Amino acid sequence: MKNKIIYLSAALAFAVFTSCKNDAKSESGSDSGEPKEYKGKEIGSEHDAEIDKLVSQMTLEEKIGMLHGNSMFTSGGVKRLGIPELKMADGPLGVREEISRDNWAPAGLTNDFATYYPAGGGLAATWNAEMAYTFGNSLGQEMRARDKDMLLSPAINIVRTPLGGRTYEYMSEDPFLNKKIAVPLIVGLQDNDVMACVKHFAANNQETNRDFVDVQIDERTLREIYLPAFEASIKEAHAYSVMGAYNKFRGEYLCENDYMLNKILRDEWGFKGVVVSDWAAVHSTVKSLKSGLDIEMGTPKPFNEFFLADKLIAAAKNKEISEAEIDIHVKRILRTLFQVKAMGGKDRAKGSIATEAHYQDAYKIAAEDIVLLKNENNALPLKLDGVKSIAVIGNNATKKNALGGFGAGVKTKREVTPLEGLKNRLPSSITINYAEGYLERYDEKNKGNLGNITSNGPVTIDHLDPAKLQEAIETAKKSDVAIIFAGSNRDYETEASDRRTLKLPFGQEELIQKVLAVNPRTIVVMVAGAPFDIDAVSKKTSALVWSWFNGSEGGNALADVILGKVNPSGKLPWTMPKQIMDSPAHATNSFPGGKTVSYAEGILVGYRWFDTKNIAPLYPFGFGLSYTTFAFDNAKTDKTSYAENETITVSVAVKNTGKVDGKEVVQLYTSKSDSKITRAAQELKGFQKVLVKSGSSNTVAIKVPVKELAYYDVATKKWTVEPGKYTLKLGNSSRDIKKEVVITIK
Ligand code: BGC
């Protein structure tokens, strides 16, 4: 019986699958179909006189003390003048545990537990701006309860390659979805007197050679693919800070890149906040400052040895840089401190942390991000009549992902695993037979590769332990139903290294095939943050579910989807290729490059490549099934022809033609066939998630400002709307277009 645990079902059992119809509605559902507008508050100038006065009282050393880290996650303040340190915290999954002041070791506190929120890919898979606002708002409250000023998040780099180590942290391969999730997240966060630090600016799309790789992107691609979410974060959400990336762009490090930091970010977009470096991403003193960097953060070494510390004092004394120039940076920091009421404000938000309400926020997001990829013969939701036992197989049934790998995680008191979720939700009459099946094993010799930035990802041991395999087979055979929890984890998908391959690690493919062979009633659940090669698995299994590094309540949300309490409504935020060579960066042999990487696919990133080149993906961008079915009808626009400053309103009736309530994401793609310029076959320009009750119909109205149809004209350096006919395509994935409407732009 070693390694074989028979779990009897837990106390909180309730018969969920029967209640699908009435329970599918969650608070986040938008019945109206009217999208909300999210706009942030701009940094004000009302404290400028006070700021000028403060700066006039500061010594050069005090000023420069504010421009660099004085601990791992704070930059300096000036106590005698009442200027506090600027207190930062990672990151994308929730407020990171407290780190020691001068090294990476955890501080060992007992009051730094936090809610673990679903990772970026999961949040984007909700295709729901309200969920993104909830995420930011909930996390903002946690930041304040930990007395922080700046969250090092959101992470919004474009998913250029499925192998990217940080794909799980990032949102999407598509710039429109990316910005529509980033903006409400930032607004929600900053509504709590906390700054967002949008990262990593910009063109930081791989971990391999990230410390020095020089990224070459043509201007149009930069503007249309890699910058829109950053641009919207500044112009719409008014993010108060931005993090400069590690790598180079067009020959210059991104923390000393005048084009990106001064010309684009500040001059073009009007950014008024602070630019913080990524940790140890600075390479110069005067050049960095003059190029637009404000604060240098870093990894352990005496803080006065940073580029923006003693060296800057010396440079100022040698007149290589004027004190007036230093003042500009100090004033920017002071303005953001006033803006979030770290200075001057009496009524700063106090926040709360790891509350039941926040765990429920994490639950709501998780319940909306799970993607149903395949469901033959209505294998799901699982019908429990006659079921006495369920085999739960796979290391991922018990694996926790709040911490792991290299980079920021969350120390949390609650992380419901998939196995615990099932125990919580299944009636006690059902026996759960657990078998680990595969082991998470790495080649000892290559262990250093985990998170080692000079490598292309960790080397896994991909053969199964024969005893573990046998145990899994026996467990599946003797149980009425089997559920395999496979995929990846946050040790394997990690910052600082890209994966070597799309292959499922640890011998999982063989395990899945063998379990499927002995128990045809097997459901495969993938827990992962990035695409994997699941072509063969997907052919054999009748039910395939995709979950993510899905936060504190991930296991409960997953069980609720499997059992039908929640009707799945997540949609893939990126393309699942059949094979890696189908993906644009790989098909063009332009990943990972060497000292330089040129993005040879240009604007054809993600589905733009697959659709333009007619390559069938395994699962397309925007894809996700439901336990009900939807029909789209009566698609129309408010007019037939529009001027450049107008907004197109496209409406469509979404009818729920199945037996249970459910949410559908109406996706609007545009095509221009007779274009004078090279374009992708289609581009996402709008979407709206809508809850529709079984048997009823809701009309969804999507507004597309005509300027969204613009391309970036390199010659004139302007966003330009080409006149003529455009086809608006309405569907529920990039490959399932149900209605088309043609309009004309004058
Ligand atoms: C990461 C950042 C992170 C910083 C501080 C860096 O390695 O790239 O995303 O915020 O560390 O932990």
| Higher-confidence position of 329 and 34 | 329
User: Could you please report the per-residue DSSP string of 559-573?
Assistant: HHHHHTSS------S
Q: How many domains does the chain have?
A: 2
Residues 722 and 574 in one domain: no
- Let me know whether 413 and 561 are in one domain: yes
340 domain residue, yes or no: no
Quote the CA–CA distance of 238 and 78 in Å, as a whole number.
Answer: 27
Question: For residues 642 and 724, what is the distance between their CA atoms, to the nearest angstrom?
Answer: 10
CB-based contacts of 470, cutoff 8 Å, min separation 6 = none
pLDDT classification of 15: cutoffs 50, 70, 90: very low
Nearest ligand 1 atom, CA 408: 12
Within 13 A of 304's CA, how many CA atoms are on the CB side? Answer: 5
137 alpha-carbon distance from chain centroid: 16
Ligand 1 atom with minimal separation from the 197 CA? 10
Residue 137 CA, ligand 1 centroid: distance in Å: 22
Determine what percent of the chain falls in helix, strand and coil, rounding each to the nearest 5: 30, 20, 50
For ligand 1, pick from 87, 98, 278 the residue to mutate: most ligand atoms within 8 Å of CB.
278
Quote the ligand 1 centre to 527 CA distance (angstroms).
24
Query: Which residue is closest in CA terms to ligand 1's atom 6?
Result: 279
List pLDDT tens digits, range 99-156: 999 999 999 999 999 999 999 999 999 999 999 999 999 999 999 999 999 999 999 9
6: pLDDT strictly greater than 50:
no
Q: Residue range 196-217: average pLDDT?
A: 97
Compute the distance from residue 242 Cα to the ligand 1 centre, in Å: 12
Ligand 1 site residues, Cβ closer than 6 angstroms: 90-91, 152, 199, 278-279, 408
> In a mutational test of the pocket of ligand 1, which residue from 279, 403, 453, 497 has the highest number of ligand atoms less than 8 Å from its CB?
279
If asked whether residues 634 and 556 sit together in one domain, one would say: no
The residue contributing the CA closest to ligand 1 atom 11 is: 279
Q: Say if residues 233 and 198 touch (Cβ distance below 8 Å).
A: yes
Is pLDDT at 35 greater than 90 in this prediction? no
Q: Tell me the CA–centroid distance for residue 278 and ligand 1, in Å.
A: 6
679 with 537, same domain? no
Final residue of a structural domain among 583, 613, 643 = 613
Domain holding 665: CATH number?
A: 2.60.40.10
pLDDT more than 70, % of the chain = 95
Confirm if 567 and 372 have CB atoms less than 8 A apart: no
Cα separation, 355 vs 357, whole angstroms:
5
Please report the DSSP string for 605-642 in residue order: -THHHHHHTT---SB-TT--B-SS-EEEEEEEES-SEE
For residues 64-79, average pLDDT: 98
Of 54-58, 172-176, 282-286, 497-501, the least confident: 497-501
> Catalytic: which of 112, 193, 278, 491?
278
Predicted pLDDT of residue 18? 31
- Other CB atoms within a 10 A radius of the CB of residue 328 amount to 12
Q: Residue 1 — very low, low, confident or very high, per pLDDT cuts 50/70/90?
A: very low
Six-digit token pair at 524?
Answer: 């495969």
Could you give the CA distance from residue 393 to residue 508 in angstroms, rounded to a whole number?
11
Higher pLDDT, 34 or 137: 137
Looking at the fold, whether 423 and 393 belong to one and the same domain comes out as yes
Question: Which of 688, 686, 684 is closest to 663 using CA atoms?
Answer: 688
Rounded to whole angstroms, the Cα distance separating 608 from 30 reads: 29
Residue 124 domain flag:
no
Closest by CA to 396, choosing from 483, 482, 486, is 486
What is the whole-number distance in angstroms between the Cα of residue 407 and the centre of ligand 1? 7
- Please tell me whether residues 589 and 674 are part of one structural domain: no
Cα angle at 196 between 191 and 199, to 5 degrees? 155
Domain range for 510: 2-30+358-613
- Quick one: 634 and 584 in the same domain? no
Report the 3 state secondary structure along 148-187.
CCEECCCECCCCCCCCCCCCCCCCCCCHHHHHHHHHHHHH
530 CA to centre of ligand 1 in angstroms? 19
Provide the pLDDT confidence category of residue 24 given band limits of 50, 70 and 90: very low
Look at residue 526 and tell me if it is in a domain. yes
Of the residues 568, 585, 613, which one is the last residue of a structural domain? 613
> What is the domain-level CATH number for residue 26?
3.40.50.1700
Please name the residue whose Cα sits nearest to atom 2 of ligand 1.
278
* Domain presence at residue 648: yes
Omega within 30 of 0 (cis) for the link into 175: no
- The whole-angstrom separation of Cα 299 and Cα 308 is 14
Q: What is the rounded average pLDDT of the residues 391-414?
A: 96
Same domain, 550 and 638: no
Annotation marks residue 633 as catalytic: no
In a domain, 171, yes or no: no
Flag whether pLDDT at 505 surpasses 60.
yes
Is-cis flag, bond preceding 120, omega within 30? Answer: no
Q: For the chain, what is the mean pLDDT?
A: 94
DSSP 342: S
Q: What is the average pLDDT across 624-642?
A: 98
| 445 lies in some domain | yes
- 561, 588, 613 - which closes a domain: 613
Q: Using the predicted structure, report yes or no on whether residue 63 has a pLDDT greater than 50.
A: yes
pLDDT at 346 over 90: no
How much is the pLDDT for 407?
A: 86
Angle at 700 between CA 695 and CA 703, to 5 degrees: 175
CA dist 476 and 392 (Å) reads: 8
Residue 350 is assigned to a structural domain of this protein = no
Structural domain contains residue 419: yes
CA of 228 to the centre of ligand 1 (A): 22
Output the CA angle 29-685-162, nearest 5 degrees.
85
Determine which residue's CA is closest to atom 5 belonging to ligand 1.
279
560 and 699 together in one domain: no
Atom of ligand 1 nearest to the CA of 200: 9
440 plus 580 within the same structural domain: yes
Look up tokens 């009636």; give the residue. 427
Question: Does residue 606 sit in the same domain as residue 669?
Answer: no
The pLDDT-based confidence of 301 (bands split at 50, 70, 90) is confident
Pocket test for ligand 1, best of 73, 95, 152 (most atoms within 8 A of CB): 152
Angle (nearest 5°) at CA 255 between 252 and 259: 55
Q: What pLDDT, on the 0 to 100 scale, is given for residue 34?
A: 59
Q: By the 8 A CB rule, do 137 and 646 touch?
A: no
Task: Kindly state whether residues 589 and 653 are assigned to the same domain.
Answer: no
Question: pLDDT confidence of 456, banded at 50, 70, 90?
Answer: confident
CA of 193 to the centre of ligand 1 (A): 22
The CA 320 to ligand 1 mean position distance, Å, reads: 30
